[in-house]
């Protein structure tokens, strides 16, 4: 028989055993609320300047240099340096703040990614059709194609000239710049399109950006609309059609991040996924007030959106390379065995965004296990799809350890799965780090409109991600 209890006892019991979700705004005092808004302003500056992985690397480096970190390649042998970074192929960064404990006993890692879904120009992009000059694209990462039509787009990228000179191209961000756009069908003639499935109604090969409609020369000249564009590219940048073949030019939403809402409580921007985790973890490491017990390491990976492939993604051996550099710099044994020990003994957070419950699409979430905007940093014990396939599932012992230090520091946190069990899912860099045997769990803020050209993230959650990552670096032993 269960012992009956009175109302007061029931209330006491509830307080002891139940967990009520905490709204960050309710947990913060006035000073902290101000800090959250101030932090968002810093973040907006970062994200506005970091629309591609290359730009993110440059911004991260700028911030690191300002904060006393040194490029590992510039560190003279034998000199004792405790804060440094390394850049991989201009698209990924690793940073370390050396702690008191030996590297070979493990480090504390936060891994995030700095690539976002977008459209890449094809290698042979330029053509003309109906006296309009266009450029062909190949989308990168998971996008809902229709979201990219009929809106201002900017191009950001680099090209190399035949003489080897690197040229940076950014068009569409300044007020005085032109923008680009993908033309969409008018509703009046959309009958056939409207009857198609969404996945068929918008084709990848129709994601072509309009780049001009002014002819050069007279009617006798072949492809004179395309020639106009090539003329401009050559005049302004010395770029020829062949240079475009080996260029990397990305098409992204034009414009800056904006406060969203009457109360300005959200930030709307392109690329919160995952530059919000990149920025908050970067600040978390920079703002460490004293030398950490355990070396704090941040990885800012590229290519997460296409499966962490390539030599700048989490699947590459960047981790081995950087940790072995740490061993050498700290004058520890840097044999393969020591490197293995250092990595397998490490603790990690996979800093990546989670899907907040969409007010208008609540049915795709299982609400007892879904992230809510405003309820703090979100743990995903596992990711993967349908039966946890392809997932890294964090160990209970490890999760518990982090929960303890987060609670001690009054970090507001929640737990979530990406969606309903058989609805879909997603992966992060977690499983690639887990392959090394290190402990890892997914942990990041929730966003709305994920993978759209204008994602929403709550200022309370951005600030809480920063505090959480800082606590992890400070207290995880
Ligand atoms: Mn992500
Ligand atoms: Mn993503």
Neighbour-count burial for 256-286, b at 16+ CB within 10 Å, e otherwise: ebebbeeeebbbbbbbbbbbbbbbbbbbbbb
Report the separation in Å between the CA atom of 114 and the middle of ligand 1, taken as the mean of its atom positions. Answer: 9
**Nearest-angstrom CA–CA distance, 330 and 100:** 10
**How far is ligand 2, taken at its centre, from the CA of residue 274, in Å?**
7
Which pTM does this prediction carry? 0.97
In order of 25, 413, 420, 441, the CA distances from 459 in angstroms are: 10, 14, 26, 23
Rounded to 10 degrees, the C-alpha dihedral 47/50/56/62 comes to -80
Q: How much of the chain is in helix, strand and coil states, percent to nearest 5?
A: 35, 25, 40
Fold matches, 20-116+270-475 and 118-253: no
* 130 Cβ neighbours under 8 A, 6+ residues apart: none
- CA–CA separation, 325 vs 85, rounded Å? 10
Dist. CA 125 → ligand 1 center (Å): 28
How far, in Å, from the CA of 422 to the mean position of ligand 2?
19
Distance 187 CA to ligand 1 centre (A): 34
Through-space distance between the first and last CA atoms of the chain, rounded to whole angstroms: 44
Name which of 451, 454, 276 is nearest 377 in CA terms.
276
- Kindly state the helix (H) or strand (E) to which residue 211 belongs, with its residue range: strand 209-212
Q: What is the pLDDT along the chain (477 residues), one digit of tens a residue?
A: 788 899 999 999 999 999 999 999 999 999 999 999 999 999 999 999 999 999 999 999 999 999 999 999 888 766 778 999 999 999 999 999 999 999 999 999 999 999 999 999 999 999 999 999 999 999 999 999 999 999 999 999 999 999 999 999 999 999 999 999 999 999 999 999 999 999 999 999 999 999 999 999 999 999 999 999 999 999 999 999 999 999 999 999 999 999 999 999 999 999 999 999 999 999 999 999 999 999 999 999 999 999 999 999 999 999 999 999 999 999 999 999 999 999 999 999 999 999 999 999 999 999 999 999 999 999 999 987 888 888 899 999 999 999 999 999 999 999 998 888 888 777 899 999 999 999 999 999 999 999 999 999 999 999 999 999 999 999 999
CA distance linking residue 96 with residue 111, whole number of Å? 12
Burial of 127 (0-12, 13-18, 19+ CB in 10 A): middle
CA of 380 to the centre of ligand 2 (A): 15
Q: Which ligand is nearest to the CA of 141?
A: 2
Ligand number nearest CA of 455 is 2
Cβ atoms within 10 Å of 299's Cβ, excluding its own = 27
Q: Identify the pLDDT of residue 385.
A: 82
Ligand 1 center from residue 428 Cα (angstroms):
6
Q: What is the second-level CATH architecture of the domain 118-253?
A: Roll (2.30)
| Domain residue limits, the chain | 20-116+270-475, 118-253
What tokens does 60 get? Answer: 């991260």
Q: Which of 443, 438, 446, 448 is nearest to 470 (CA)?
A: 443
Ligand 2 mean position, distance from CA 451 (Å)? 6
Fold entry, domain 20-116+270-475: Aminopeptidase (3.40.630)
**Model pLDDT for residues 145-202, shown as the tens digit of each residue:** 999 999 999 999 999 999 999 999 999 999 999 999 999 999 999 999 999 999 999 9
pLDDT of residue 390: 84
CA of 199 to the centre of ligand 2 (A): 19
How far away, in angstroms, is 419 Cα from ligand 1 center? 15
Ligand nearest to the CA of 116: 2
R_g of the chain, CA atoms, integer Å: 24
> How many of the other CB atoms lie within 10 Å of CB of 382?
17
Contacts of 150 (CB under 8 A, 6+ apart): 181, 182, 183, 184
| pLDDT tens digits for range 81-135 | 899 999 999 999 999 999 999 999 999 999 999 999 999 999 999 999 999 999 9
Report the DSSP beta bridge partners of residue 246. none
Beta carbons within 10 angstroms of residue 449's beta carbon: 18
Distance CA 395, CA 398 (A): 5
State the distance from the centre of ligand 1 to the C-alpha of 429, rounded, in angstroms: 8
How far apart are the CA of 116 and the centre of ligand 2, in A? 7
Predicted confidence at residue 74, as pLDDT, reads 86
Q: How far apart are CA 447 and CA 272, in angstroms?
A: 8
If you measure from the C-alpha of residue 15 to the centroid of ligand 2, how many angstroms do you get, rounded to a whole number? 37
**DSSP-derived pairing of the beta strands 83-88 and 70-71:** parallel
Q: What are phi and psi of 80, to 5 degrees?
A: -90, 110
Q: Ligand 1 centre and the CA of 304: distance in Å?
A: 7
pLDDT at 450: 97
Nearest to 41 by CA among 263, 264, 261: 264
Report the separation in Å between the CA atom of 352 and the middle of ligand 2, taken as the mean of its atom positions: 8
Rounded to the nearest whole angstrom, what is the distance from the C-alpha of residue 15 to the centroid of ligand 1?
35
Q: What is the C-alpha separation between 412 and 404, in angstroms, rounded?
A: 12
């Amino acid at each position: 028989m269960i012992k009956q209890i009175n109302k007061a006892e029931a209330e006491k019991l509830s307080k002891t055993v139940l967990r009520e979700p905490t709204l960050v705004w309710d947990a913060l005092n006035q000073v902290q609320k101000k800090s959250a808004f101030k932090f968002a302003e810093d973040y907006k500056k970062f994200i506005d300047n970091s629309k591609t992985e290359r730009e993110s690397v440059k911004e991260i480096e700028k911030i690191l240099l300002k904060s006393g970190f040194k490029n590992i390649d510039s560190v003279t042998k034998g000199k004792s340096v405790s804060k440094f970074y390394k850049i991989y192929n201009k698209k990924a960064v690793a940073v370390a703040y050396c702690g008191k404990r030996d590297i070979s006993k493990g480090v504390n890692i936060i891994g995030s990614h700095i690539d976002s879904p977008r459209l890449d120009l094809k290698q042979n992009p330029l053509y003309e059709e109906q006296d309009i000059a266009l450029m062909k694209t190949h989308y990168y990462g998971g996008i809902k194609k229709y979201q990219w039509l009929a809106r201002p787009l900017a191009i950001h990228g680099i090209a190399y000239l035949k003489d080897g000179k690197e040229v940076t191209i950014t068009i569409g961000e300044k007020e005085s710049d032109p923008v680009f756009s993908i033309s969409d069908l008018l509703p009046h003639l959309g009958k056939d399109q409207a009857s198609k499935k969404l996945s068929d109604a918008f084709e990848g090969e129709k994601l072509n950006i309009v780049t001009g409609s002014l002819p050069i020369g007279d009617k006798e000249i072949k492809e004179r609309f395309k020639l106009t564009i090539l003329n401009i590219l050559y005049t302004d940048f010395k770029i020829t059609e062949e240079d475009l073949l080996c260029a990397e030019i990305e098409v992204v939403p034009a414009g800056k991040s904006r406060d969203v809402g009457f109360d300005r409580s959200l930030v709307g921007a392109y690329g919160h996924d995952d530059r919000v985790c990149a920025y908050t973890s970067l600040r978390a490491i920079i703002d460490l007030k004293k030398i950490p017990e355990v070396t704090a390491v941040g990885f800012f990976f590229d290519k997460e959106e296409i499966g962490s492939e390539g030599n700048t993604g989490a699947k590459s051996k960047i981790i081995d390379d950087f940790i072995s550099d740490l061993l050498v710099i700290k004058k520890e044994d840097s044999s393969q065995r020591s490197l293995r020990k250092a990595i397998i003994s490490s603790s990690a957070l996979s800093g990546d965004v989670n899907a907040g419950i969409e007010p208008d699409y609540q049915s795709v979430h299982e609400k007892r296990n879904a992230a809510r905007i405003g309820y703090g940093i979100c743990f995903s014990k596992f990711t993967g799809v349908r039966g946890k396939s392809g997932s890294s599932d964090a160990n209970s012992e490890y999760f518990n350890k982090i929960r303890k230090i987060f609670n001690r520091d009054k970090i507001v946190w929640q737990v979530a799965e990406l969606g309903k069990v058989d609805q879909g899912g997603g992966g992060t860099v977690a499983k690639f780090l887990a392959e090394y045997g290190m402990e890892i769990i997914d942990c990041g803020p929730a966003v709305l409109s994920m993978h759209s050209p204008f994602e929403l993230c709550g200022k309370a959650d951005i600030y809480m991600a920063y505090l959480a990552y800082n606590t992890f670096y400070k207290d995880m032993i």
